[in-house]
Amino acid sequence: MKITSKKYDIGYGKPPEHSKWKKGQCGNPKRIRKVKPVAELVDEFLSSEVVENGVPQRRTAFEVIYLQLCNKAMTGNRRALKVLKQYTDFAASRAPSGGMRAVLVDEETQRKMLRGENG
């Protein structure tokens, strides 16, 4: 009767048996996740730098988005104008001084404002 022992090679991509993960064992035993608040993620994205069209003029992602929205709003895109107003309100709410607020005014309201009417 011959006794055979399994020989296990150790090397690249073949770790020793004693250091392998056991079946069902988690690689993160304390289950600690590094989760950032959404506001922090948005701030990081908007402050990241972007190179436009291969031109070495650097702008933040927020500046690029804001400029694109301004351009679209000037061409008459109402959705871009609405999003631009929301961005402006958001920025104004985060500014320590209250910042500048943009207000969308339709033609009738504008006429009333010019005439000095209330309501």
* pTM score: 0.42
- As given in the structure block, the two tokens for residue 4 are 């055979």
Q: Kindly list the domain boundaries of the chain, sorted by start residue.
A: 35-115
User: Tell me: the pLDDT tens digits for 10-20?
Assistant: 888 888 888 88
pLDDT bucket at 79, cuts 50 / 70 / 90: very high
Q: Please say whether the beta carbons of 60 and 51 come within 8 A.
A: no
Mean pLDDT to the nearest integer, 78-105: 74
Contact between 59 and 46 under an 8 Å Cβ cutoff? The reply is no
User: What is the three-class DSSP state of 4?
Assistant: coil
